[in-house]
Structure 1
Amino acid sequence: MIAALLAGPAGAEVLRVATWSAELSRKGPGLLWRDIESGKDKQIAAAIEVITATAPDILLITGFDWDFEGRALAAFEARLAAAGQGYPYRFAPPTNAGLATGLDLDGNGRLGEGRDAQGYGRFTGQGGMALLSRLPIETERARDFSTLAWRDLPGALIEGAGLSPEARAVQRLSTVAHWDLPLRRADGSALHLLAFAATPPVFDGPEDRNGRRNHDEAAFWRLYLDGRLGEAPPAPPFVVLGDANLDPADGEGRPEALTALLADPRLQDPRPASAGGAAAADPGQKGDPALDTADYPDPPGNLRVDYVLPSAGLRIEGAGVYWPAPGAPGAAAAETASRHRLVWVDLAFP
């Protein structure tokens, strides 16, 4: 839908930018590709339905298994193209998901487990992330911050995280990745996508290793925009998007960095909402359930964990979470595809 089809000044370019934690991950390498190629997997069919129903121009998929030759992503895009929703440009380099360290990072006395990888994963690439785009991706200008050591982030909360000196020396900040990806718009200018997927702030102990890391993965973006990471920040327009794995009001975690990001004057929070999220409200929920993006059992209950935050100068034409009300068209596909719901924002460029 790269066209000026929505309300706005004549000649405006409107792009739908989306993020989705599709949970397209399997228990071993190559199994996702096998399931996509088979054409029989119900989850994958539902994922195709969700994406074709929302028709994003730019889609960050988190929770997607990486493989060396990119076969799974190519096969998935081919399925989308066959359904009328093709993406000529893809970006999916290796990430920290499942990247072995050779160390006992979690300190349980055993090596080679999922929690001993840079980002949780039982094999290299399990639960990685990928970008699908109808706009050219300027890969030669892309910045990948996945190798940044956690201890090197200004103000990092790594102290007290229970890591051994050996683990502290190698532990990277990014659970999956932090990317700055310039996309080339029709007029030749760039739209920067600031993409990430953070660790859940749970599955640890009183040292709160994952809670601290999750906080710092969100804090990264304000430091980057401040120019404090040794790289000049991107000029607007840009969009911060991905799976922060944290709700600012409900569930566990340290919400301070995320709350600061949502309130940053350089960004806008379109507060995408859905009828399905509102209908699935949990008792005692503090945040607006219509904004939730993940359908978890209680506890922790439904949460808002996935975000699309455009830079302040962009005009927002619409936004939503693809979570149809019970019984509405698409509701079954959304539920079958993932516990997370696709989040989209329509942006107008004069």
Structure 2
Amino acid sequence: MNRAGPGLLFRDILRGDDTQIDAVVQVIIAVQPDVLLLQSFDYDFERQALKAFAALLGKQGKEYPYLFALRPNTGLQTGIDMNGDGRSGQPEDGQGYGRFSGQGGMALLSVFPILETEVRDFASFLWRDLPEALMPEVEGKPFPSEEAQQVQRLSSVAHWDVPIELSNSQTLHLFAYHATPPVFDGPEDRNGRRNHDETAFWQHYLDGALPERKTEAPFVILGDANLDPLDGDGRHAALSSLLKHHRIQDPAPTSAGGADAARKQSGVNDAHRGDPALDTVDWPDFTGRPGNLRVDYVLPSADLRVADSGVFWPLDDTLVTDASRHRLVWVDLEF
């Protein structure tokens, strides 16, 4: 739900005739999540687009009284050439890719109170400050420059620790993020390295390797890692390690639609090692594209009881195709 310019998402929501927005609403109504993380949702300072979208859901019978969004790194210009093409001021030269500040941010909707005063926003955390950071180099020199690496933030969108208060007065922490795609770069593998480290951040957070750590259980890591643990481009080590972390459980949500879509398509999907029922995104299956992959995750802490999980991808996939390439991943938890 990102648009080509500021305010256009808000405009499209108010118009009420946007096929994609309507499809997203219908997917959410079908799943009925109590806590929902939206990815690639344009940010505006007063959260007008988010409020308007929540109102649409309310008209369909799903009320979200608590909304949350912060300014993401997307489109936040640095004034520096950040990708080594000799220019500055381009979408690639922001702290995260964006044609305007806030394009493709994140948003949370919740039926439970969001404890905003206790939120920890790591959007300004510098990439170079991550333990064992995979900073890109070319011929032994920082890429694209030492100046760029001095200011480069880790989050291409954001990393949040958002606590919510459940009905039993227990607090659940939501660790939310959206990693950059590990492609669209050169042999320095800048995006691939950054994608790896954006997921590695959570393992360091859980292990106490970052300052001012607050990781009281229970928690849920949720977001778009833009990486499959087995297939497609990217550096898989950090994600594979996170999925096996002793403080995390992987419910491995599946869908019949994902498995069916992989069977119907020939090409790169045939070479995948992962179970296609786990796929969460439907990328075109032709030369130069990765095919269908598992890139979106909801990972509860190990002390929580998972009642059920799934990927909303029905066999008749017209609705979800209209909504997004990505599919909604859900997990039911019991407290």
TM-score calculated relative to the size of structure 1: 0.91
Q: What's the CA shift for 1:188?
A: 1.6
- Residue in 2 aligned with 1:15? none
| Equivalence map 1:177-326=2 (5 Å) | 177-281=158-262, 282-298=269-285, 299-325=289-315
Deviations 1:234-286 (A, max 9, x none): 21110001000000111000000000000011000000000010001121121
In angstroms, what is the RMSD of aligned CA positions? 0.9
Q: What's the CA shift for 1:230?
A: 0.6
Runs of 4+ with >4 A deviation: none
**Structure 2 residue 322 is the aligned partner of structure 1 residue 336:** yes
Contact conserved, 2:143 with 2:149, CA < 8 A, in 1?
no
Q: What's the CA shift for 1:187?
A: 2.2
Aligned equivalents of 2:203 and 2:156: distance in 1? 18
Which structure has the higher relative contact order (CA within 8 Å, separation 6+)?
1
**Structure 2 residue 21 is the aligned partner of structure 1 residue 44:** yes
**Structure 2 residue 91 is the aligned partner of structure 1 residue 117:** no
- Residue in 1 aligned with 2:125? 148
- Residue in 2 aligned with 1:345? 331
Deviations 1:20-45 (A, max 9, x none): xxxx0010111111100000000000
Deviations 1:6-65 (A, max 9, x none): xxxxxxxxxxxxxxxxxx001011111110000000000000000000000000111100
Q: Extract unaligned runs of 5+ from structure 1.
A: 1-23
TM-score calculated relative to the size of structure 2: 0.95
Contact conserved, 2:136 with 2:188, CA < 8 A, in 1?
no
For these two proteins, the number of residue pairs brought into alignment is 322
Contact conserved, 1:224 with 1:231, CA < 8 A, in 2?
no
Aligned equivalents of 2:213 and 2:281: distance in 1? 34
Q: What's the CA shift for 1:199?
A: 0.1
Deviations 1:268-305 (A, max 9, x none): 00000000100011211210000000000122100100
**Structure 2 residue 114 is the aligned partner of structure 1 residue 137:** yes
Q: Secondary structure at the match of 2:272?
A: coil
Aligned equivalents of 1:312 and 1:249: distance in 2? 23
Aligned equivalents of 1:232 and 1:109: distance in 2? 38
Aligned equivalents of 1:178 and 1:232: distance in 2? 14
Q: Secondary structure at the match of 2:292?
A: coil
Identity value in percent: 61
Amino acid at match of 2:110: S
Q: What's the CA shift for 1:159?
A: 4.1
Q: What's the CA shift for 1:316?
A: 0.6
Aligned equivalents of 1:321 and 1:78: distance in 2? 25
Contact conserved, 1:226 with 1:233, CA < 8 A, in 2?
no
Q: Secondary structure at the match of 1:213?
A: helix
